[in-house]
Amino acid sequence: MSAYSSRIALMTGLICAGLLLAAFYLEFVSGLVPCALCLAQRAMFALIGIACVLYLLPFYGSRLIFGLLSLLGSGLGVWLASRQLWLQSIPEDQLPACGPDIYYILERHNVFEGLKTMFFGSGNCAEVQWIFLNLPIPGWTLLFYIFTASISVWLILFRGPRQFRLFNN
């Protein structure tokens, strides 16, 4: 089972890179403007992808750390995607107020205000901009975060045999 862990980590890192490329395509080519929650979800995919690529380092102890980091990114991603789906499902009169976009907040206010907006979203995040097979973008990202969480658990459990040491330091 552990013989496949490196291949699975590499494939997961490549999938995360592909998802980020798709997000950049939707933004720069198709013209969709990402909200704060979308940007935070991109950051989580980048974290998962980097952790999965670093999982390939040949150190046994680092594999646990990078597997846990990937699981943390997946868990935060599940929360972010679920929050955006919740914002998209509530009635329009109960939505939080639409504030300025995240770029304006980061330019005019401190970093903590930008992070708060980035992780909790605003009324801007409730707009459904793109649907594929009856699921909006946060629905698809939620499915991928659940997939990467299960992969992360695999990577944590099946890290491979511990290297032989003549003396325990």
Is the distance from CB of 106 to CB of 83 less than 8 angstroms?
A: no
Alpha-carbon gap, residue 78 to 44, rounded angstroms? 10
Q: How many CA atoms lie within 13 A of 19 on its CB side?
A: 27
d(Cα 57, Cα 132) in Å, to the nearest integer?
37
Superfamily of domain 2-157: DsbB-like (1.20.1550.10)
Type of residue at 9: A
Residue ranges of domains in the chain: 2-157
CA distance 169 to 166: 10
pLDDT recorded at residue 27 = 86
**What pLDDT does 120 receive?**
63
| Euclidean distance between CA atoms 34 and 91, whole angstroms | 21
The C-alpha atoms of residue 55 and residue 141 are separated, in whole angstroms, by 22
Per-residue pLDDT of the chain (169 residues; tens, 9 = 90+): 566 888 888 999 999 999 999 989 988 998 887 877 888 899 999 999 999 999 888 777 788 889 999 999 999 999 989 988 888 777 777 666 655 666 666 677 666 666 666 666 665 666 667 677 888 888 889 999 999 999 999 988 887 666 655 566 5
